Amino acid sequence: MQSSGKKIFINTFLYSLMACLAVISCLAIGQESSSLEPSFDAQTGLLTLPYVSVKGTEDAYSLQLSLVESSPDIVFELTEGLPVEKQEIFGYPKFDLASLELEIPMLDVGSINYGVFLSLSGLSEPLRFSFTNAVAKTPQNCTTTDKDPLDEDSSLSRLRVVENMVVDDDCNSVLLRGVALQGPRFMQLAYEIDASERHFYTEEDFRVLSEEWNVNFVRVVIWPELWINFPDYLDVYVDDLVAWGNQYGIYVLLGYHSHGNAGTGEFEETSWANDGFWQGSPYNPDKGHTISAMEQMVSRYMNKPWVIYSPFDEPSLITWDEWRPHAEELTDVIQAIDPRALTVIPGVSFAHDVTGILGNPVNRENVIYDVHVYPYSYVPSLGQPFNSDLWMDTVRDVAEVYPIIIGEWGYGPNTPIEGSRDEFAVPLLNLAKHLNIGWAAWIFHHLAPPALITSFETYETTEFGQLVKDTLTDR
């Protein structure tokens, strides 16, 4: 396949089909593709676009283009175009009838994911098909590193950031995908009143997640207010989780679950703050407490290469430009103790909004950006819901330059989270797959919504949980 920016001429057969789309269905045969992913076979020269959404109509088409050798140029010849069922899908080709432009956001070609842009407007000249916005799946400039002799033995390599990827010691790109675990002290306090409910995680949970769900990443929630009021938190609640992560090949993200403004201390009001076992805001954003927590965590786990840190969960009531200096300060706290540490930094507006990163990134090494997505998510800076083309383009633009992870996502019919499999979850997973970015599904629990399982005894899945499990195991 040609390198990024190389022009490839397209046969006018394609234009003929697209022009027909404006007035009639060119082919009367309907057919649904078994897979919706665009693909290119370098050996046969076959470019397959199982799904092309036609902007301005309710139509969608399946296209096949075959590579034709025509020295010195290369052309594509249309061999098939079939109507398919219209769906709203992130990351798939779109054709605009008004501008006659075809965009293929992500095309898998070997070790590179290419963005492809085709304009059909200049009929007096040959039509051009060019690669744009190439997103590599392996880094182009990476030096292997030796295992740090200070690190504990582990099958898991220490991770680092190279270009826009997270890589291991051998420069292999590592895709972190898994689930969030409810705060272990919260579980004890919230559920121990009912002896029939298990109120803690066990080694068996990690075995199931690793061997049956194919999880390689968990996000451990640490509620600030419960941390502040329990000085032995790590010893009692976290050490075992960290050890089981290493035993079962799972990276462990310790996520300090603050919400609000790290500068002013403002936070969203909750009806349950100061109720029951809470002794203040559950999301306490006080930066002094956050710094103390990070210092203790990193000092304790700095030689455990499978541990990752997130010093703040969901900044809110703050702009990105206001949040970025706080993010850098918290990253400095972590890396002053362990310069090798991988730090996860969220966007603003409850981590839904990562727009500001593009023009004003965190100026530190080994940083992964974090975006959270739920059916109700809204991005004020874009004036758009999470599932708009503009939001999708923003995430794609960030992923082309920086490593990013969907650190929380979930849906739950008949729960306060709401949402559905086909309208929310599947499009989001498609986006993550095409951008080659990792994620953590919220939450591996049977009572906290949106739950992935219905029981810790059987690990029976909810609809949401089954989708996550099938995706992780590539079913």
Domain residue spans of the chain: 7-136, 160-472
Helix axes 203-211, 239-247, angle to 10 degrees: 30
CB neighbourhood size of 122 (10 A): 10
Q: Could you tell me which residues come within 8 angstroms of residue 362 by beta carbon, excluding any fewer than 6 positions away?
A: 324, 327, 328, 331, 345, 369
Asked if 318 contacts 327 with a C-beta cutoff of 8 angstroms, the reply is no
Is a pLDDT exceeding 90 seen at residue 212?
yes
Residues 16-51: tens digit of each pLDDT: 333 333 222 222 223 333 466 777 776 776 777 777
Amino acid at 86: K
Q: Is the peptide bond before 72 cis (omega within 30 degrees of 0)?
A: yes
Report the pLDDT value the prediction gives residue 121, as an integer from 0 to 100.
Answer: 45
Judged by phi (left if over 0) then psi (alpha if -120 to 50, else beta), residue 7 lies in beta
Is a pLDDT exceeding 60 seen at residue 299?
yes
Report the pLDDT value the prediction gives residue 122, as an integer from 0 to 100.
Answer: 37
- The more confident residue out of 50 and 364 is 364
CA 184 to CA 190: how far, in whole Å? 10
Determine the CATH number of domain 160-472: 3.20.20.80
Grade residue 269 by pLDDT with cuts at 50, 70 and 90.
Answer: confident
**Helices H, strands E: what count in the chain?**
11, 23
Which one of 15-29, 97-111, 205-219 scores highest in mean pLDDT? 205-219
CB neighbourhood size of 278 (10 A): 17
The pLDDT of 177-186, averaged and rounded, is: 94
Closest by CA to 301, choosing from 351, 246, 230, is 246
Is a pLDDT exceeding 70 seen at residue 6?
no
Q: What would the two tokens of residue 9 be?
A: 């001429």
Residues 318-330: tens digit of each pLDDT: 999 999 999 999 9
Report the pLDDT value the prediction gives residue 390, as an integer from 0 to 100.
Answer: 78
Give the range among 41-55, 203-217, 258-272, 280-294 with minimum mean pLDDT.
41-55
Give the chain's length.
475
The pLDDT of 117-127, averaged and rounded, is: 43
- The more confident residue out of 224 and 17 is 224
Report the pLDDT value the prediction gives residue 414, as an integer from 0 to 100.
Answer: 77
Q: What would the two tokens of residue 373 be?
A: 């997505």
The pLDDT of 291-298, averaged and rounded, is: 98
Q: What would the two tokens of residue 180 be?
A: 């969030």
CA 471 to CA 467: how far, in whole Å? 6
Strands 384-385 vs 378-379: parallel, antiparallel or unpaired: antiparallel
Percent of the chain with pLDDT over 90: 51
Percent of the chain with pLDDT over 70: 72
Report the pLDDT value the prediction gives residue 124, as an integer from 0 to 100.
Answer: 34
The pLDDT of 400-422, averaged and rounded, is: 89
Task: Mark 297-322 as b/e (b = at least 16 C-beta within 10 Å).
Answer: bbebbbebbbbbbbbbbbbbbbebeb
The pLDDT of 419-446, averaged and rounded, is: 89
Give the range among 1-10, 213-222, 260-269, 392-401 with minimum mean pLDDT.
1-10
Helix axes 426-435, 463-472, angle to 10 degrees: 20
**Averaged confidence pLDDT in the chain:** 80
Q: Could you tell me which residues come within 8 angstroms of residue 133 by beta carbon, excluding any fewer than 6 positions away?
A: 114, 115, 396, 400
Report the pLDDT value the prediction gives residue 422, as an integer from 0 to 100.
Answer: 84
Report the pLDDT value the prediction gives residue 292, as an integer from 0 to 100.
Answer: 97
Report the pLDDT value the prediction gives residue 9, as an integer from 0 to 100.
Answer: 38
Q: Is the peptide bond before 450 cis (omega within 30 degrees of 0)?
A: yes
CA 356 to CA 319: how far, in whole Å? 8
Q: What is the pTM (predicted TM-score) of this model?
A: 0.80
Task: Mark 90-121 as b/e (b = at least 16 C-beta within 10 Å).
Answer: bbbbbbbeeebbbbbbbbbbeebbbbbbbbbe
Which one of 54-58, 281-285, 289-293 scores highest in mean pLDDT? 289-293
CA 260 to CA 270: how far, in whole Å? 12
The pLDDT of 434-441, averaged and rounded, is: 91
The pLDDT of 219-248, averaged and rounded, is: 95
Give the range among 74-83, 115-124, 237-246 with minimum mean pLDDT.
115-124
Report the pLDDT value the prediction gives residue 69, as an integer from 0 to 100.
Answer: 52
Report the pLDDT value the prediction gives residue 194, as an integer from 0 to 100.
Answer: 61
- The more confident residue out of 38 and 167 is 167
Is a pLDDT exceeding 80 seen at residue 57?
no
- The more confident residue out of 151 and 126 is 151
CA 413 to CA 422: how far, in whole Å? 12
Is a pLDDT exceeding 90 seen at residue 248?
yes
Which one of 38-47, 100-109, 246-255 scores highest in mean pLDDT? 246-255
Q: What would the two tokens of residue 406 be?
A: 């969907």
Amino acid at 179: V
Phi, psi of 60 (to 5 degrees): -145, 145
Is a pLDDT exceeding 80 seen at residue 8?
no
